[in-house]
């Protein structure tokens, strides 16, 4: 069956309840199991194998051995669980996380040519299932989440460049944001950093946009307008997660200048009021 684009092929295959692999050239593959998506691979994101290797739970050689031992009797994922490399829950979460990450970027790339191979399975087996509308809904939700964090996509493909001085009084970072700030070398893009850190590309992109919203990244504009842009327009969305408390005025109004203007300068200051009261009392006592 030679299907057209991924957008049209996927719902059709899902409706027929098919099992197999839908290949979109070199860009990625969608694995279906009885009409539901069980796994997605995308060239731009880390696969479960790569995530496992990055986590240090199993070596590349160990993974190859499991892959060779895997077959219809026992899928690779089940072998990994049996060997105690990871728990059933971790495997499921790993598969669903990698699937959503890959689906987000693969569907956005809109690959034009696809080829379906009926009956083909991923060697790990099927461990989590998405119905196609649900998967598309989640991708749309993730897209709007990115928009809310920082409404421009121009940073997505550019090297991540931390600013040398932050405008905020304090910055709160998530663990991933910290890793990003530590690893960012002003040449690696978010996708490259995700690969280097062994993290999902979407989470990395979201963290990068939040860092930009918090004024911690060079957004390519002149330094001055970076701070006011921190709260993106539209919706009363919270300031980004790593926002810190940059919105507050730098410090309480300073008192120094007043003393210089002479002892008679009177303000609604407690000391001034006390002085006036004491003066009045003294005059009345005369």
Shortest distance, position 153 Cβ to other proteins, whole Å: 18
118 three-class SS: strand
CB within 8 A of 30, min separation 6: which ones? 6, 10, 21, 22, 24, 37, 39, 40, 103, 106
Cβ 34 to other proteins shortest distance, Å? 17
Task: Tell which one of 3, 43, 96, 227 touches other proteins (CB under 8 A).
Answer: 96
In order of 211, 240, 274, 278, 281, the CA distances from 285 in angstroms are 64, 61, 16, 10, 6
Selected range binding other proteins among 67-75, 94-102, 117-125, 263-271, rule: CB under 8 A: 94-102
Least CB distance to other proteins at residue 254 (A): 24
CB of 40 to other proteins, least distance (A): 15
**121-150: which residues touch other proteins (CB under 8 A)?**
128, 138, 141-142, 145
Output 138 or 218, the one with its CB closest to other proteins.
138
Of 25 and 97, CB closest to other proteins? 97
Cβ neighbours for 51, distance < 8 A, ≥ 6 positions apart:
94, 97, 98, 198
Could you tell me which of 111, 90, 212, 106 has the C-alpha nearest to residue 159? 212
Q: b or e along 251-283 (b: 16 or more beta carbons within 10 Å of the residue's beta carbon)?
A: eeeeeeeeeeeeeeeeeeeeeeeeeeeeeeeee
Please identify, using beta-carbon distances, which residue of 100 and 193 lies nearer to other proteins: 100
Choose, by CB under 8 A, the member of 34, 87, 183, 267 that binds other proteins. Answer: 87
Q: Are 197 and 262 in contact (CB under 8 A)?
A: no
Radius of gyration of the chain (CA): 28
Q: Which of residues 166-225 bind other proteins (CB under 8 A)?
A: 170, 172, 176, 198-200, 202-203, 206
The one-character DSSP state at 56 is T
Q: What's the closest the beta carbon of residue 57 comes to other proteins, in angstroms?
A: 7
User: Distance (Å, rounded) from C-alpha 61 to C-alpha 258?
Assistant: 73
Our CB check for other proteins shows the closer of 235 and 263 to be 235
Beta carbon of residue 191, minimum distance to other proteins (angstroms, whole number): 15
Instruction: Return the beta strands (E) in 86-180 as ranges.
Output: 115-118
The whole-angstrom separation of Cα 30 and Cα 116 is: 9
Number of residues assigned to the chain: 286
> What is the closest distance, in whole angstroms, from the C-beta atom of residue 198 to other proteins in the complex?
6
With CB under 8 A as the contact rule, the residue among 85, 107, 155, 212 that binds other proteins is 85
Chain positions 29 to 68 lying near other proteins, rule: CB under 8 A, are 46, 51-52, 54-55, 57
With binding defined as CB under 8 A, does residue 78 bind other proteins? no
Q: Are 215 and 167 in contact (CB under 8 A)?
A: yes
| Binding interface with other proteins (CB under 8 A) | 46, 51-52, 54-55, 57, 81, 84-90, 92-94, 96-97, 100, 128, 138, 141-142, 145, 170, 172, 176, 198-200, 202-203, 206, 238, 241, 245
């Amino acid at each position: 069956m030679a299907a057209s684009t991924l957008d049209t092929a996927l719902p059709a295959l899902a409706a027929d309840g098919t099992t197999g692999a839908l290949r979109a050239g070199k860009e990625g593959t969608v694995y279906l199991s009885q009409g539901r998506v069980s796994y997605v691979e995308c060239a731009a994101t880390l696969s479960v194998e790569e995530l496992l290797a990055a986590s240090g739970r199993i070596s590349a050689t160990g993974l190859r051995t499991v892959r060779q031992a895997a077959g219809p009797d026992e899928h690779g994922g089940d072998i990994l669980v049996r060997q105690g490399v990871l728990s059933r829950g971790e495997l499921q979460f790993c598969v669903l996380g990698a699937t959503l990450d890959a689906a987000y970027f693969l569907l956005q790339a809109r690959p034009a040519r696809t080829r379906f191979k009926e009956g083909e399975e991923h060697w790990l087996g099927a461990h989590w299932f998405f119905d196609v509308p649900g998967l598309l809904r989640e991708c749309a939700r993730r897209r709007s989440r990115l928009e809310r964090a920082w409404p421009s996509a121009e940073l997505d493909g550019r090297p991540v460049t931390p600013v040398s001085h932050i405008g905020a009084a304090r910055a709160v970072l998530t663990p991933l944001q910290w890793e990003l700030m530590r690893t960012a070398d002003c040449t690696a893009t978010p996708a490259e950093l995700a690969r280097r850190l062994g993290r999902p590309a979407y989470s990395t992109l979201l963290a990068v946009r939040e860092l930009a919203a918090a004024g911690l990244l060079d957004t390519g504009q002149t330094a001055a307008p970076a701070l006011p842009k921190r709260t993106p327009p539209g919706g009363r969305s919270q300031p980004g997660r790593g926002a810190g408390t940059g919105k507050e005025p730098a410090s309480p109004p300073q008192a120094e200048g007043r003393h210089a203007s002479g002892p008679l300068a009177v303000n609604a200051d407690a000391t001034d009021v006390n002085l006036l009261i004491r003066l009045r009392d003294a005059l009345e006592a005369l």
